[in-house]
Chain A
């Protein structure tokens, strides 16, 4: 195309030159230049003009842009308006059917303590994570009340801007002392704790090895970190080692890059979704072998496992300094609100400027911090005794509780004997999650009618990375007596026989 257009003038130009040259043929070589100039002057005016135009044309062609084969297809304003007119967005939210299983919540009237009134029926609570029964403790309540009288309810600011109260500092110090770590940091929301802690350290390009059964807040933390996530099979150390080895080989290919990629293993001490304990000693071995840091989420195990209730590290006798970061919420065993992270100052202090849920959120109401301090006091009072294990051992061996639930036909118990929250799953699934949930809900309703408050473990089906099978979660606390537990086990058995046929 280009040559097609510019070729014609070039052709004309050369014809002109040749004509002039021929006319000057007879002239000797050294006179050529002069002759050329002379000829130019004597040439007719139209020649000069024509040549001038041609030269300008060539220059223009040389510097002008090449032609585009296609014409620009910019939309006109009218077309744009039409597009805008035509566009129909999806509704903001899809319509929820009225009989959606989780649309109508169970309503609790009165305190959510050991004896709980659910949907108007008084029941024994086998659903709340009130492991140590501290929710009903008069001492905790009075401490919270006196704190309320001093500080009011809200903090009206984030920690940085006059939202730090002396009780926050006290609670952080107490938690650090209790866990025997250098430093602790508190968050105002349990869920936000590990979800903020992970992205404070692990950034884009870093690698996190995570157990498949990790809870939702870990998953959200990983998503916020934008790191590269590798899931290993639940509690399967061989699978983890396989992934670590793979990474090692990868690192050898590009050692420069490997030197800046941080690696983390994120595990739960006691899995809320699987009700079993992580093999911490093996994890620590892998940590030093492959130089990976360990983040441990202990919301379920804090206050429950270990001789003093310090969690999985104490349970296994692992040196707590070998774990880089421990996070737990204060909403289960401590029966307050919020969460904390603890570890070495080198690690923890970084969150004070980088933990999003710490920096950008209002701080924990001081009365809730005071309640947590008092709950810690109660936990520490009896040295050498973890109230959870101690009381349960006095009343009945935990294996008995476990056994009680185990003997239910049609249901299988998931979890280790030590765990405070077991899962009852269907032995034979009907094949559809909705139907399974309906069956389990029927068992829950049956028990509710017989003074046993149970709950289904709820998940966001589409959002969970690995959706656990539907289950009823049974929580064992120190307040339940042997009779109550036997009654509950009996009740579930009856329900299972009746409903599952």
Chain B
């Protein structure tokens, strides 16, 4: 039981107000603050915790994209990952990149690195797909523990408490396995300056999807991106009779 692969995605920072491009082809990303996907932070934290508890020996942070994603890998290294892998994807390939391509890359890397676990965030806050973990497990034919709010390693098995509608589900799966992190799994540590400095010595390997035998062709085409409809202003009424009249006129009652 040695190695864990953690996927980290560089997304527009959660606190930024998103703007749609005037041509509706996507969202404005130039000059916009980016950071690690919050669920990926939780995934990294869990992997590092497992290493601190001595269940695993090495945590490898992986990210796919252009040069800028190395910043995200650096953050993961500052949080305690041992080394990083940057899978270079840029231009049109990067714009069209989605869960299918990512999961193919992760499946190839998981085999190449002989990982016992692949831990991902449950979804990215930019595309809300919630597919990469599941697809990766399917491509590898590995068991999956998704929406994990608690992970316990028990020999060659993992006990996962999952957040599901209506409560919690506890499952036991064999390793190697894929896990996706939910919000309550843990509290990610903040990467402080001393840790960032220490992480500069850690290595980030670079490779291309072709090196892993992965084709990046997308089967999905984004037709249009729109903002959600603006909420209409509420109407204030003076009396209950007015309220009833308005609701009747509206057809609500």
The judgment on whether A and B are partners is no
Give A residues with C-beta under 8 Å from B: none
Give B residues with C-beta under 8 Å from A: none
